[in-house]
Structure 1
Amino acid sequence: MKKTSIAFALAIGLTSHAIMAQETPAIEKQYTKEIEKLTKAKKVKAAFEIIKGQMDQTTADHITLTEVLAPPFMEDEKGKVFAKMLEEAGVDSIWTDKVGNVIGLRKGTSDESGYVGVDAHLDVVFPEGTDVTVQKVGDTLKAPGIGDDTRALAMLISMLKAMNKADIKTGKDVLIVGSVGEEGLGDLRGMKYMFNESGLDIDSWIAIDGGSMGRISNAGLGSKRYKLEIKGKGGHSWGAFGLANPHHALGKAIDIFSEAAWAYTSGDIPKTSFNVGRIGGGTSVNSIPFESWAEIDMRAIDPKNLDEIEAILKKSVEKAITAYNASGVKGEVTYELIKIGDRPSGELPGSLPLIQRTMAATQYFGVVPSLGRGSTNINIPVSKGIPSVCIGRGGKGGGAHSLHEWFLNDEPADESIQLALLVTLAQAGLEK
């Protein structure tokens, strides 16, 4: 094991995904020995040195990928750039699937079935037209999306190059993936397709989409999201005064839901949250709107609580609209509650080999591993019981999901990539 002192890396806002700490189990000796053996292998040592030697190119790739904007549902152009990088780095085959996931296959040497997947997501939260030009201030890179999650895409390319240059062969096939739909209303559509429709036999998954080294997510924080649309006839604020007003009905719905949801989440239950994140509608200050809408986010550790707060929302909206229409207004409003997001919860035991290997590999780099729960691509495989982890991008950063996002490699710049490689090799198996 390295002789560097073990220090817990500060979690400095490199991701917007809340990662709640869990009790981290002890690392079993067999996995510590497994990782130590891997790191002593000549080809692994060579790959580590290659990763270190190509950091300038990794930074160049990082900048190139960042400067291709990939708003939700518009990841195609960045996908093409990532695919070209995969091809140049060397994969056995490459394809873009039905929903836009870019997949590179690196074949293993054994007949053992089941792919080991490693991914970073292509999409960012920023809309079309956002300036994503990277500014360098000393060693710091500044641009929207520079950390979340473009840094991880560049890590995948560096890792792949090192595997090929060091002539590393794995037992199992490895999929290297630039996935779509991780952010916001993308609703994990890339992972839902991979695990529900693609037909690929995937038996483990490693996502790179966190902050500092040491933060390991082995659990998915579930969420349900709805858009509430309320409609009426609309009219002039004076001439049609008294006409049923969708905004007024929306306010009543939010009030009734907030009161009921607050009482529920304040009870003796695992952490559960609710939030009205966006509202809109109307044409002018002196017009009764013909439409009003709100977007609601609900999250819970336990799937049961998520179902229950969802039921509270539905009951509250129905109660509010019924009461509003019976309040003496002229005419009535109608409503529709549209589901716009559904991310399942789930948790994998820390005793699973993949999680043990990830903790042992993290410890090798002198960092104390800490298990947690987040809303990431692993929500889907975790909910199906498929061994999965989400590991950090390393470095230091801030301003995630803002126009002022920044990234700085303040660690030994190669170690987060070496960690991703080590976990992948431990899971896929290193052939001599």
Structure 2
Amino acid sequence: MTQLLRLAAFHFGIAFATCSFLYAQESVAVEKRYTDEIKALANRPAVKAVFQNFTDWEPQTKQDLIRLTETPAPPFKEAVKARKYAAMLKEAGIDSVWIDEIGNVIGKRNGRSGKKTVVVEAHLDTVFPEGTDVKVKQKGDTLYAPGVGDDTRGLVAILTVLKGLEKAKIETDADVWFVGAVGEEGLGDLRGVKHLFKTNGSKINSYIAVDGDGISEIVHRGLGSYRYRVTFKGPGGHSYGAFGIVNPHSALGKAIYYFTSEADKFTRQGIKTTYSVSVIGGGTSVNAIPFESWMEIDMRSESPERLNGIDQLLQAAVQRALKEENGLKRSGPDLTVDVKKIGDRPSGRIEPTVPLVQRAMAVSRHLGATPQLDVSSTNANTPISLGVPAVTIGSGGKGGNVHALNEWWLNDKGVLGLQNVLLVLLAEAGVAN
């Protein structure tokens, strides 16, 4: 368990900012036509019936959450959970379901016209390594387990919405894809949704990601990030006998200094842009010149221009350090450097006036919350960067300790989260009957 705690803490450090909501909120008015639209939609008898079903089904919804949470989905190993989720979608009455080449679960519910496709999605993967104990423990009304909230609750929310649509026989005008995506966390680098848009992008007209609790936060701006692993390599040798050869650690130290000095000035103005030299390593012994020295760096901004700007500072710092270290050598071969991009999350923005964003805000307000427009890094980043209307909304309830072994979720008015997803989906997909 000590090793698991260490690994979980490591992933927490890398991934916490990946999925947690970064509260850079905007205050925007909700247009009356969308408020009226949502009010009329919520007053439909069939929709009211689904709302009642959500309440009646709470014991089963809880069992679905426990069942899926206790199915591990470590990074890059989501296949078992994917198969189980596909079976649950099929059992709920989806028209067709398949698992694509990269591991995404895609369930298609046919619309009357099918002229549009609306995706509603939650992610299958968690940050926790293989072997983590994912058994759900209940204390009072609170469920504790790694991944119980992020994002297994999201998966259960869209599954329950599907059940509600089927039970009430509500037909949408647009086709709706219910998706369980792989690779949202950490070094997964949004690979599931990137693949979805690479292979089906022309079919998708709008995108609703379900991630996080509550019903207030609406992410309409994608926080982009670049992540690099920079490795300086040399021949290595005895600290005395080989003295005078290039030293990768010296080059790494210079690169960090040059980069952070320039990045500090760059990030003191303009749209918020961040940087972190997060992990470093290399070397074998105190009496040995290392043969390699490496670091992993995270840079973030919702502005593509700012992100590219700080990236250029990193590249320049690395090359300057390489040149200077090679200039100091007294013997042996030159130092080399390998700069590998290990993460590339696109950034962008969907304007608050876009109908999907307005509808999400109107739903949040209709359900008694105060809508908050935020920026974050979620699966919605990819469609946002492509100009496809997209938001990330919450699945209800309350949660905490995300990415920690004692993660928890409390069903505090959790049905509001299900209503949240249902109303946003129906407003966007259109009700045909």
**Does the alignment reach a TM-score above 0.5?**
yes
Q: Distance in 2 between matches of 1:420 and 1:216?
A: 12
Q: Where do 1:48-87 residues align within 5 Å?
A: 48-87=51-90
Contact persistence 1:277–1:297 (CA under 8 A):
yes
CA apart distance, 1:27: 1.0
Q: Distance in 1 between matches of 2:240 and 2:135?
A: 49
The residue number in structure 2 matching 1:292 is: 293
Q: Is 1:247 matched with 2:244?
A: no
Q: Distance in 1 between matches of 2:335 and 2:111?
A: 60
CA apart distance, 1:17: 2.5
Match among 23, 39, 62 for residue 42 of structure 2? 39
Partner AA of 2:305 in structure 1: K
Superposition CA RMSD, Å: 1.7
Contact persistence 2:395–2:414 (CA under 8 A):
no
Q: Distance in 1 between matches of 2:116 and 2:293?
A: 48
CA apart distance, 1:370: 0.9
Q: Distance in 2 between matches of 1:379 and 1:350?
A: 15
SS of 1:403's equivalent? coil
Q: Relative to 1, partners in 2 of residues 1:50 and 1:275: Cα closer, same or farther, differing over 3 Å?
A: same
Q: Relative to 1, partners in 2 of residues 1:46 and 1:258: Cα closer, same or farther, differing over 3 Å?
A: same
Once the two structures are superposed, residues 281-310 of structure 1 have per-residue CA deviations (whole angstroms, 9 ceiling, x without a partner) of 233444332222111111112111111100
Once the two structures are superposed, residues 184-240 of structure 1 have per-residue CA deviations (whole angstroms, 9 ceiling, x without a partner) of 111111111111223550000000113321100111111111110111122334443
Contact persistence 2:247–2:325 (CA under 8 A):
no
Contact persistence 1:102–1:177 (CA under 8 A):
yes
The residue number in structure 1 matching 2:282 is: 281
The residue number in structure 2 matching 1:269 is: 270
SS of 1:311's equivalent? helix
Q: Distance in 2 between matches of 1:184 and 1:251?
A: 26
The residue number in structure 1 matching 2:5 is: none
Partner AA of 1:304 in structure 2: E
Q: Is 1:315 matched with 2:346?
A: no
**Greater fraction of residues in helix:** 2
The residue number in structure 2 matching 1:324 is: 325
Contact persistence 1:15–1:209 (CA under 8 A):
no
Once the two structures are superposed, residues 323-361 of structure 1 have per-residue CA deviations (whole angstroms, 9 ceiling, x without a partner) of 122124543321011111111211111111111111111
Contact persistence 1:14–1:396 (CA under 8 A):
no
SS of 1:147's equivalent? helix
CA apart distance, 1:37: 0.9
Instruction: State the number of aligned residues.
Output: 417
Q: Distance in 2 between matches of 1:415 and 1:168?
A: 19
Q: Which runs of 4+ in 1 moved over 6 A?
A: none
Q: Give aligned-pair identity as a percent.
A: 51
Q: Where do 1:131-170 residues align within 5 Å?
A: 131-170=133-172
CA apart distance, 1:23: 2.5
Contact persistence 1:15–1:400 (CA under 8 A):
no
The residue number in structure 1 matching 2:355 is: 353
Q: Distance in 2 between matches of 1:380 and 1:55?
A: 33
Contact persistence 1:15–1:211 (CA under 8 A):
no
Unaligned 5+ segments in structure 2 are 1-15
SS of 1:149's equivalent? helix
Unaligned 5+ segments in structure 1 are 1-12
Match among 64, 88, 93 for residue 91 of structure 2? 88
